[in-house]
Structure formats: structure tokens, C-alpha cells
Structure 1
């Protein structure tokens, strides 16, 4: 095997597509612990009927596959604050990392940390928001022009739709209100949220993992996607070279070995470090610097000025107003009328025509080594992998940021209407954006796991992907950045493979 990719989500799919396009004769095996799902491979669940979506969501719940459950779970683990702030919620199609987390004194944990296990990974469920990173969200050791080119490529692959201010209709009116309040010197200007959603065949179509994979099955004869296959560990020889992986067929229980010239682990921000830990690859930074966005979301009763009935609606323009991250305001806000939402929301048939609006804010975490996902040498999870425990707390800086986020939630809501409830901090883990656990770095100084091309320090031919490689504190949705980084790394992998193929062909003459 030329390339083994662990994980069938967006990052793994970007690797597979890029390597396949540049070296179409490569033999590429992609393994996924979860099952195949019905319908078009990698299709986004928002493109499905309600019944189809429910069936797929039940399949990707990992240990809870097939289990019907409420959308919100109110069981509170011992020691957790029973307020709404710490109430555990879980989205359809996901399963908890730990539904009853034990906390150390002073920790707040990530009690809502969850993941999807199925072909396509989170890429068949994601919200499709694709903002670019701004100011200190950007990775300082990647040249700006190089990263911009990678971000543009990721936008092209996803089919991102962008809207230019000032907009029209109700979104334009909301934009004007937010820009007047939140624009200022040194701040990233207010605009509209780019989305991987397009108008196609008379309806809005969401880009799922299949959009990223493209036509690889047709163009790369050596590509195989193998579901229900767990990577137990990466195999590294005595010279420090990754040479393959030990896999387990979850249907039959068979354990077998696959040899590969390149191994790429894109299991997600929590399971990628788990695979490395299980493989005995344990640099000091592994699992550490864990961070996710703080999140607040509130419903707003729109005032008469913003009544959707007063405006003509253009369904091809989504109109989610974006208040981007800035260093002086380390958070990102989103404001939109529910009448303009493209999502199939479980809020009743009349929700899209209502006078409800949504105000949602993400804030950046104060990144610290102490915040981590740690793994056990003795206990295992449902899949027989090292059990993970999340250690996570808030600093004084975090508390100040959260207070500022609450203030901005109130400010933005007051501009368009009246809050239905006070802004409440979502349970830790709710954003589903787990970053930093296998972070990239400019130097092998013990503070990172991989280099700028996502190759693991000290291990040849082992690459990583996913949100976990992002080293900066961010509030922007990370999918676009993660795909841009995967494309950069995949291009290097493909180039090195092509050189080896060429050398082998020359030697055979």
C-alpha cells in the first residue's frame, strides 16, 4: 500500500483527493471505524429527507448506534454544576466521549464533548460555516500568501458561497445595524458568513465529505474506503519510520496488519492523539494545549423594524451576518433571522416564517499546556482503545473573555429585538471544535507534535490531519483552516510519492 489514511472525515478526504489527483496510480486505503451509511457516499444529512437523515444519524452514534434518545440529556455527572451552563446536550448523529465525566478540583471539563463515528465523519453533519481566520488566529509560521492560496483551494473544493456587504433585504438591514455597532479601528470588518452551501437544482445543497472526496473512486483505481475498520496502532520500525498499521475488523473481530509507505492519521481532535498514544508515540505535547471555542447562543424576538414579513426574501442568499474575530475582540459573532435559515431545524413547521432571530457567539480559549486529553495505560473505551479523560479549566483571562462575550451577545441582540432568554454559556465541548491536541509547530521544541507540513516530529512518513493540528487560539469555525492545512501536507506527500515512483521506474529500465 502506498498510503494508509485513518479516518474518513473532511481532513482524511482532502488528503485522499489531493494525493489521488497528483498521483492517480497510487494505492490508497482509507479506513473508518464507523459503518457505511445509506445514500450517496459522504452526502450531508441536510440534503436528505427527514426519514433518511434520522436513519443516518442513528448509524453514526458509535456505541449508541441505533439508540433512540432525546436531543438534550439532563443527567448531570456528580460534581458538575447543575445549572444550564453545564447541562449536557448532544446533537443527533453523535456520541459522548464520556457521559459521566469525573472532574478534578477546579476543572470545568468538556462534559458535552462528542464525536461522530461513520463514513464521512463530522463532514456529513457539520454546520457548513467556512470563515477565514483573522489576525492572531492565523498560523504565524506559514507565509501569508501561501496560506491564502491554501484557504482559496479549500474554498474551491467545498464550493463555498460568499456574500459581499452591504447585502439586500432583511440580511442587509441586520448587517447595517451590526456594522454600525461593531466596526472600528483595528477590528476585522463585519460581513456575511461564507458557507459551503450552494443553490443547486432549485434547492440549497450542503457540501458534505463526498464533496471533498470528489470522484476518487472513478479516477484512482487503487483507492479503497474500508468501513468498520479500527486502527489499533501505527507500526513504527526500529529506524523511526512509520511502515503501516495494525487494524481490526469490527464486524468479524479479525486483527491484521497493513503495510504502507505513508501513514496519515485524521481520526479527529481527540482520537488522533489516542491512536498515537496507543502506538507508543508520545511526545510531551501529545493531547495537551486542548482548546475549543466558548459558545453562547440565544433566540431573539425580532422588533418591527426587522420583521421578516416586511422584506422580500431571496432564498439563494443566506444572510448570516458575521462579526469576525479580532485581537482586540477575541470572539466571533453570528446574527441571523430564523426565516433566512437554510437548516432543517427541529423547531416546528412555522419556525422559518416566525419573527425569531438567533444570536450566537464563539470566543477563543486562553491556551495552556495543562488543558489536555489524557489516556490510560490500563483502561479502555468501547472500542478497546486507551480510555480518554479530559482535563480542562478556565483562567482569569477566560473569565474576562466570557464576560465580554456575554456583553456582546446582549449588545447584538438589543440591536434587532428582545432576547427570549439571557445568554447562557453552552456546556463545554458543545462547539465540537477540539483543537491543539496534535498541534503543529515551527520547531521541534517539545511544544508541538508535528511540523508545518503535519509530519510527526521524529517519525518518518507519519502525517496528521484535522482540527487538532491548529496551534492558535481561534473563535472562527476551523473547518476551512483544517482543510487548507491538509491540502498543503497532502501535496508534499504526493510529491514525495511521485519522486519515488519515478525513481523506481527509472531503476527498472
Structure 2
């Protein structure tokens, strides 16, 4: 019998482990991950690696496509899905499609580019590290403002978030231009995008999942991270979670682990999959699925924003942020590529120096009918219930998408010339899948878990990840996800402490 079993090694699962371990250093904590270990430091971000090491890590975490170059993996693409290079780039190295041949029903648009990752550290070793706070209706209304802000502050500390307060040079000029264009009454002011990055000497380091776990193996002797281990189902007895049935994917051996508390943080789609496979099927499970709409464009910077005209200030690397507001339910980002810390696979230094990226994200109109469904008869690559995504757009969504396009054009016109017209990214390509195990204030059938992420109707069972977020958002959800996991893990640790006292 162990104290806590955590299913999933991404940012949410790692936050649970770290928080419980810090509070109870004598606790026994088993974290299981379906994917393999990645060579090198545990949970290290791939952007910090050499090119060769990053490629090796990416090929390992591609699940059914492990070891396959992306071009080969996409050679046989589904009818009706654009097979162009633009679409193929929506599946990033290190990831694999949920379903490369989705079958859409009448009136659906689906999420054809929905992708996931399988490897120690989860998406936390690949993510872009954007960590904006939620604003206005993005925030969770039934968590007090002070409580949520305290959790977000702790999440920023766990992720080593850098928040640029002011910038001179090119980035400062871009912020002023965007503020002149987009600031107004009732709108969240334009600023800079916080990122989970920090400087070590003259090098920018990206925060991977290992930053969250810290020195857990040293400080908590009872912590174990077990890779290539599939959680087939949560064990439930007398209305309470008591452990899980696990499978060693190297040997095929299936065995049970008993635990006082069970936490499922598989990801936004696989967490509800594990619950479904366990016979835990509340009405809202898999429903209210949403990801934000996305448009990204390259812009040729005008002479006013020629990087050569500004003094180099490498400590001000980053992006301008046009935050979400209820009156403008979207978030914009403007990033000059000059001296970018991101290792992007295109263009020489001269070409890149006059390029910028515009990235706009908009909130989805939440609908019960938008859902990930699971089969009782068909299985996926891992032998788990096969997924099917039901996803449409409302009239409100169509209006939001048009506003997204207009704001992309406005921001581009202010700083330069677009290389191409803004186009809506393939559904699923943002990788931010929310709502499928959403939290709620009461057990009214519209949520899966309570404000402390405890699954309704099953004692001692917790969830975590982007899927718990119940609001429509445009902001990158990782900071909120880590904040909510920390808040839930703190409550879980208190409960364990009461048992031991």
C-alpha cells in the first residue's frame, strides 16, 4: 500500500507530486507514465538540448509513431483533410495524432490536428512556456480572487516564470504600438507575455517538467517515477478509489497497486479516457471539450520596427501580449524573431531579423455537445477505449473567428506587412484541450470534479490537467493548470496528514 498513486508525469502530475512531497517528505508516492524515459536529465525541456539530443527525445515521445520522421508518419493522411505542408506542420515533432483519420458527422468541424505526447515529463518537455494569467471571465468564478491569485503566484514560482515589467528598444516600441491600437476602457492593458524561462549567465533556459519536480527523488525517499507503465483502470471499492491496475508495456505484465489516494493527470483527453475505462462515467465526462481558436501569421517588419535601428537588449527577449478581455474575447501576441531564444527550423539570420510572428487565440463558445467520446468495443494503440471527437462551431464562434481575423490584420498593419492572409489553424493544433473533466461548484451534472479536483461520487480520487478548467479561455492554460493542481494537492496532503496524526 502506498500513499499516493499519480497517473501521468506532465506539469499537473508533477505539481501534485512536488506539493505532496514538500508537505509530507515521508510519503510514498508512485508516479506512472505510459511513455519512455528521455535520455538526459529527467524532465529537461527539449529547447535546452543540443539539436541531436532534441531530435532523439522527440522521436521517443511520439507514441505509435515513435522513431518515425514526421513526413513518413503523415504519408497516408485522411481523405478530406488538407495534406499540404501547412497542415502537416500542425503535428509537431515529439507528438502524435489522436486520430489521423477522424470520421466527422454532419455539421461537425472536429479537431483533426488534436495531438498528444507519451514520455516522461509529458508535454512539459516540449511546450512553448507561455504563462499568462487568466483575465476577467477566463478566471474561475467560484474560487475567490485572493485564493486563485495566491495559487497562480505559487505556480509562477514552481515554473520559474519571468515577467517582463518594461522593455526598451524594439520590444518596447512594439508594446507601445499595440497599446495605441488595442487599449481602451474595460480592456486588459497591453503588456508583455510572461514565460517559464530564466537566464543562467548568457543563456535562456526553458522550464521543463523537471523544474517542477525539483529534487524530489532526494528529498522524498518514497517517491518513484515508473516509465512505460500504462494505467488501465482505477480500482474502485465501496465508492472509493483504492489503487489502479497497471501494465508494464515492456513485458505486458499486468498488476495492481493499492493506494490511499489516486490522482489521474494523463492529459486533457486521456484523463477522461482512464475514468471511462474505470467505469467512472459522470454525465459531464468528456463533454464541454474546448480549445481556443488560433491564427498565426508571419509579418515583414516595417522600417519603424527594423531591429537594426534599436540597441540590442537580449535581456528583453520576449513577446508583446494583448490580453483577453470580455469585450474582446481573445489574446494576441507579437514576437520579433530577431535574437529569439526559440530554435525555429527556418530562415537564415538575415531573413529572420526582419520577421515577426503574430499569434492570436480566441475563446470557444462552450457547448455540452462538444465532446470526446469513448468506445466500449474498439481500442487505441495502447489498448484503451478508442476516442472520437465531436466538435462544432456556433454562430457566436463564427463571429469570434471573424473578429480574430480582423484583429490579426489590425496588429499586422501597425508593424509591417503580412506574408499571407491570416488563416484559422487546423482544429486541435493549439494542443490546449480543456473542459473534459471540468470542475464545478456543485455536483449538478455539469462537472466532473469539485473545486479541489476531487471526482464527484468517488472518494479519494483526484484529477488534474488542462481538462479541469471550466471556463472559455484564450490564454495558454498551463499556469492555471499548475495553480489548480497545487491547490488540490495541498488539500490532498492535509487529508493524508490527518490520517497519519
- TM > 0.5 fold call: yes
Partner of 1:380: 379
Partner of 1:251: 250
User: Aligned-pair distance for 1:349?
Assistant: 3.8
- CA displacement, residues 233-273 of structure 1 (integer Å, 9 cap, x when unaligned): 00000x20100000000000000000000000000000000
Unaligned runs of 5+ in 2: none
CA contact (8 A) 1:88 1:111 kept: no
Distance (whole Å) between structure 2 residues aligned to residue 202 and residue 396 of structure 1: 49
User: Aligned-pair distance for 1:70?
Assistant: 2.9
Partner of 1:16: 17
User: Aligned-pair distance for 1:319?
Assistant: 3.1
Partner of 1:179: 179
CA contact (8 A) 2:65 2:73 kept: no
Partner of 1:451: 450
Superposed counterparts of 1:169-318, under 5 Å: 169-237=169-237, 239-318=238-317
Partner of 1:94: 95
Superposed counterparts of 1:356-367, under 5 Å: 356-367=355-366
Question: Alpha carbons of 1:8 and 1:256: their partners in 2 closer, same or farther (altered >3 Å)?
Answer: same
| SS of residue paired to 1:333 | strand
- CA displacement, residues 27-70 of structure 1 (integer Å, 9 cap, x when unaligned): 00000000000011000000000000000000000011111223
| SS of residue paired to 1:185 | coil
Question: Alpha carbons of 1:352 and 1:418: their partners in 2 closer, same or farther (altered >3 Å)?
Answer: closer
Partner of 1:108: 109
Distance (whole Å) between structure 2 residues aligned to residue 205 and residue 83 of structure 1: 33
Matching of residue 51 in structure 1 with residue 52 in structure 2: yes
Distance (whole Å) between structure 1 residues aligned to residue 85 and residue 37 of structure 2: 35
Distance (whole Å) between structure 2 residues aligned to residue 365 and residue 63 of structure 1: 30
| SS of residue paired to 2:315 | coil
Unaligned runs of 5+ in 1: 503-509
Question: Alpha carbons of 1:343 and 1:352: their partners in 2 closer, same or farther (altered >3 Å)?
Answer: farther
Matching of residue 131 in structure 1 with residue 132 in structure 2: yes
Q: CA RMSD in A?
A: 1.5
Distance (whole Å) between structure 2 residues aligned to residue 64 and residue 80 of structure 1: 19
Question: Alpha carbons of 1:351 and 1:233: their partners in 2 closer, same or farther (altered >3 Å)?
Answer: farther
Question: Alpha carbons of 1:201 and 1:388: their partners in 2 closer, same or farther (altered >3 Å)?
Answer: same
Partner of 1:495: 494
CA contact (8 A) 2:288 2:370 kept: yes
CA contact (8 A) 1:71 1:90 kept: no
CA contact (8 A) 1:340 1:352 kept: no
Distance (whole Å) between structure 2 residues aligned to residue 428 and residue 22 of structure 1: 40
Matching of residue 421 in structure 1 with residue 420 in structure 2: yes
Task: Report the number of matched residues.
Answer: 500
Distance (whole Å) between structure 1 residues aligned to residue 69 and residue 27 of structure 2: 41
Partner of 1:506: none
CA contact (8 A) 1:72 1:90 kept: no
- CA displacement, residues 83-114 of structure 1 (integer Å, 9 cap, x when unaligned): 89976720110000011111001111000000
Distance (whole Å) between structure 2 residues aligned to residue 320 and residue 348 of structure 1: 19
| SS of residue paired to 1:101 | coil
Distance (whole Å) between structure 2 residues aligned to residue 66 and residue 27 of structure 1: 34
Question: Alpha carbons of 1:64 and 1:72: their partners in 2 closer, same or farther (altered >3 Å)?
Answer: closer
User: Aligned-pair distance for 1:348?
Assistant: 3.3
Distance (whole Å) between structure 2 residues aligned to residue 482 and residue 228 of structure 1: 24
- Could you tell me the TM-score, scaled by structure 2's length? 0.98
Matching of residue 155 in structure 1 with residue 156 in structure 2: yes
CA contact (8 A) 2:109 2:393 kept: yes
- Could you tell me the TM-score, scaled by structure 1's length? 0.96
Question: Alpha carbons of 1:425 and 1:347: their partners in 2 closer, same or farther (altered >3 Å)?
Answer: same
| SS of residue paired to 1:401 | helix
Runs (4+) of structure 1 exceeding 3 A deviation are 71-76, 79-88
Distance (whole Å) between structure 2 residues aligned to residue 204 and residue 312 of structure 1: 19
- CA displacement, residues 326-379 of structure 1 (integer Å, 9 cap, x when unaligned): 001000000021114210000134267520011110000000000000000000
CA contact (8 A) 1:79 1:103 kept: no
CA contact (8 A) 1:94 1:115 kept: yes
CA contact (8 A) 1:320 1:335 kept: yes
Distance (whole Å) between structure 2 residues aligned to residue 388 and residue 145 of structure 1: 38
